[in-house]
Amino acid sequence: MVDISSIDKQSRTVFFDDGTKIDYKRFIDKFRLFMQGRIAGETLYPADMERFMRRTSSKNLTALMKGKKMEGYMEGSMDKFLTRGMKIAIGTIVTIVFLGIVVFYFLKGQGVIP
């Protein structure tokens, strides 16, 4: 492990304790690449969630589970926007309107309605 010994702000250079140096822009790029996907120096994978959850307190876990429960409820209710009765009522109204239009044009074609 190499530590930073100093940073020269005028020349924008970072010096390490092993004698190497790097310009500031390359240092930032390397640092961002190194820290990408890492928290507290550990690389995170989806399988790590269980390991991190065991470390947290029960109060945090309870809050998380309540949030997950509400999230699941919202996802489940998204496709149930209309209840069965509401769907039947809307279907009936649309059918009656459609049949009314058909009867109107039929009677108009027969000359009953001028």
Looking at the structure, do residues 73 and 86 belong to the same domain, yes or no? Answer: no
Sign for the pseudo-dihedral over CA of 14, 16, 21, 22: negative
Contact 15, 5 (CB under 8 A): yes
Kindly tell me if the per-residue pLDDT of 4 is higher than 90: no
20-42 average pLDDT score: 77
Q: Return all residues near 37 (Cβ < 8 A) that are at least 6 apart.
A: 43, 44
39-66 average pLDDT score: 61
Looking at the structure, do residues 74 and 91 belong to the same domain, yes or no? Answer: no
Q: Structural domain of residue 30, as residue ranges? A: 1-36
Q: Is residue 41 part of a domain?
A: no
Q: What distance in Å separates the CA atoms of residue 95 and residue 87, rounded to the nearest whole number?
A: 12
| Residue 33: predicted pLDDT | 76
Amino acid code (one letter) for 31: F
Nearest of 31, 5, 27, 1 to residue 16 by alpha carbon = 5
